[in-house]
A = this chain, B = another copy of it.
């Protein structure tokens, strides 16, 4: 018998992520139509661009060697410059308007790593993070692991309900807990899992609210803009970061994974310098810098214009598949379904009538699986015991990776299943 070993409190607090559970189903059911995976569309991956950019780099010993040598913890200067130049060109986020320059930009191993680093640098056990209900479940894993306390604010078609945010903060203040509030986490474009974006008006108000409740210390907005580039039509909404004119309040994270290549695992952030410093110290401990090769390939693709051309193509693809999914929902789902037609991103959130729970142990989930369709149960997207439970009857449906025909077929099966359960009353038991 092996001698037991003792894990850290953090490890003990870290649950098996729902994604592992879903992956297991996906592996056990290779013939399944997966509307669960948040993977990007395999057909649109930039094989030729990455091939050409790598050839370009490796054709010269100088650039080739630079790409294969260590970079710096903060990331490739050229790429960091491109990141802030793009924010300036697309959104008018500049040094003059926002005190943002390339010194505020960091490159990380996907934006996920930056979400982790920021949280690690700010959160002690018992600190409070406010997030939308529903919210991105992988970020919830970080909060579990750090022993943070989540407070959930309802979401609607315009993103996080900022009136409710205000009430939650006022409640916390009355309870003497305002000093523990560190972050408001918000996926501000085409949110995972709801697909909705925070309205411009609410962006401004969210910032004002956070500023007003920052009494003895600063409460940050952690703006996760992972899906920003996947909009189906121009113009883009302004990032919440745009309204942070002093570069003090909004920690902005973005990624090249969703619009370009997930396999290159490259994300970024634009942060106030005083928080960039502890983030860099912690990243020094994690890996002292993300893969330099990947950063140089992406920087080359951006410089050549390949990146922008590619993003246009990707958008068109998702727009088409989102329409297929939306049509299917209109046609096959129960009329009483609440859902949100996306303007970008990878997801549709559908809430079935309350008599059809969709959780991992539900009849509906099992029946869907029996029909070879996999979705993410909405339950995973609500932080337990965080003040707002939301519905038990939602699904996150992704058109990211499935082909249009599969999207249509998967939605048809789910919709017919829901209608059948509704009419037979099976789900009520």
Contact = CB atoms under 8 A, between A and B. Distances in A.
8 contacts: A8-B123, A10-B282, A14-B278, A15-B281, A23-B72, A40-B69, A69-B261, A265-B287
A112 B274 contact: no
A284 to B, nearest CB: 5
A259 to B, nearest CB: 12
A121 interface: yes
Contacts of A72: 23
A264 B122 CA distance: 29
Given A4-B218, A67-B263, A261-B293, A16 B281 contact: yes
A58 B51 contact: yes
Contacts of A68: 45-47, 50, 261-264
A245 interface: no
Residue from A59, A64, A116, A220 whose CB has the most chain B CB atoms within 10 Å: A64
A92 interface: no
Contacts of A138: 284-285, 288
Nearest to A110: B287
A337 to B, nearest CB: 30
Contact of A263 (B2, B39, B71, B264): B71
Interface in A215-265: 216-218, 220, 246, 248, 257, 261-265
B292 A124 contact: no
A142 interface: yes
Interface of A: 2-11, 14-17, 19-20, 23, 39-40, 42-43, 45-48, 50-51, 54-55, 58-59, 61, 64-73, 109-110, 112-113, 116, 120-124, 127, 138, 141-142, 145, 179, 182, 214, 216-218, 220, 246, 248, 257, 261-266, 274-275, 278, 281-282, 284-294, 296
A145 B2 CA distance: 30
Nearest to A42: B65
Contacts of A73: 20
Given A4-B217, A294-B293, A278 B39 contact: no
A274 B5 CA distance: 9
A218 B51 contact: no
A217 B54 CA distance: 49
A292 B262 CA distance: 8
Given A14-B278, A70-B263, A265-B292, A8 B122 contact: yes
Contacts of A19: 284, 288
Given A4-B218, A58-B54, A287-B110, A145 B282 contact: yes
Contact of A7 (B6, B71, B121): B121
A5 B218 contact: yes
Given A116-B286, A123-B8, A58 B69 contact: no
Contact of A290 (B20, B43, B109, B296): B109
B291 A264 contact: yes
Given A121-B7, A285-B142, A287-B265, A218 B2 contact: yes
A121 B286 contact: no
Contacts of A257: 70
